Every structure is written in C-alpha cells, then in structure tokens.
Amino acid sequence: MARALTDALEAELLGRYDGVAGSGDPPASDFQPPDGAFLVGWEDGEPVACGGDDERSLCFEKRLG
C-alpha cells in the first residue's frame, strides 16, 4: 500500500509541476524503525493521507482526493 500511495503522490506532483519531480524517491528503508516511520491516514476505510519520517526530517505528506 505504501508504494501505491507514494506513486500516486509522485504522479500528482509531476502533473502539477510540469514534469518536475517534487518528492524524490527515497528508499523504503529510510522509513523503517527504529529511525523512521511511514504512516497512512484513513477515512471511512479509505487511505486519504500518507507521510514518511526518517531520522533526518519529515520527508513528505499527502492528503489524497
């Protein structure tokens, strides 16, 4: 699920900013414990937001829809 959400984010950013990537493509390992986390926000059983945090800084977040 995380990959699908981040792929959707990247596709939206590419469309919004004339093909210029906005969030990069950090490796999934950046968001694994103990130094990182990847969170998914849910509303009515649907994923509506996601965000990744690593030991350096908040990497991205997105409200879908």
Q: Give the long-range contacts of residues 43-47, CB within 8 A, separation 24 or more.
A: 47/1, 47/5
Amino acid 63: pLDDT: 59
Of 36, 38, 33, the residue nearest 55 (C-alpha):
36
pTM of the model: 0.59
How does DSSP assign 5-47, residue by residue? HHHHHHHHHHHHTTT--SS----GGGGSTTT-EEEEEEETTEE
β-pair partners for 37: 53
Amino acid 54: pLDDT: 76
pLDDT in tens, 3-61: 788 788 778 878 887 777 655 667 778 888 888 888 888 899 988 888 878 776 555 55
Amino acid 22: pLDDT: 59
Q: What residue type is assigned to position 7 of the chain?
A: D
